[in-house]
Structure 1
């Protein structure tokens, strides 16, 4: 098969890999855990309630939005925008037509970061909540 065929298929292959591989790894871990539990039951060992509870939980609890989390996210996005702006400035030194498109692209994460910083002041969950 030619490499020219793989180039247009690469984004689709990437999406499949991003979705399928984590699902496969999770199912493999779950199978191993079930085999361990099955072996423990066959040997007559009692299962702790914490283990049963951990096996029945499917998803992680939702992270509660807090002012600190919003502020961190905003600062990171502003830094990403600033980094892209510096890249645009450096590319503008080489080719003048590169400055404006890259600066426009840098404005997107930077302005989203500014919005997060502003929202952090209005977040009702002002406390410093630990990440779970």
Structure 2
């Protein structure tokens, strides 16, 4: 079973920025919404350890869902670039950058595809968020 963890580096109104490691090795960067009390669709999730399971999202296709977050469901890993793209989920990117006036993650499609490729064959994995 894969071990996936995110270390959050920065929290601001522009978003919650972090680094995702897969089996202890840096895989990509992440963007979640700002901290807003774990409110559905607009907040990053609380730090902790969760189980992720493979799902087929109508909007994003094959991906993984973070389960066990109190009061929340449908928290997915998916593509996107800026905080407004998160919808309470976790965006994956190859690097941090800017799109116009907004900070975000870039090369999201490539990072997301690589993450799914590296997790091919996994149905579930343990997921830890720190910070």
TM-score band by shorter chain is under 0.3
Query: Quick check: which has more Rg, 1 or 2?
Result: 1
**Could you state the TM-score of these two structures normalised by the residue count of structure 1?**
0.23
**Could you state the TM-score of these two structures normalised by the residue count of structure 2?**
0.23
Higher helix share: 1
Higher strand share: 2
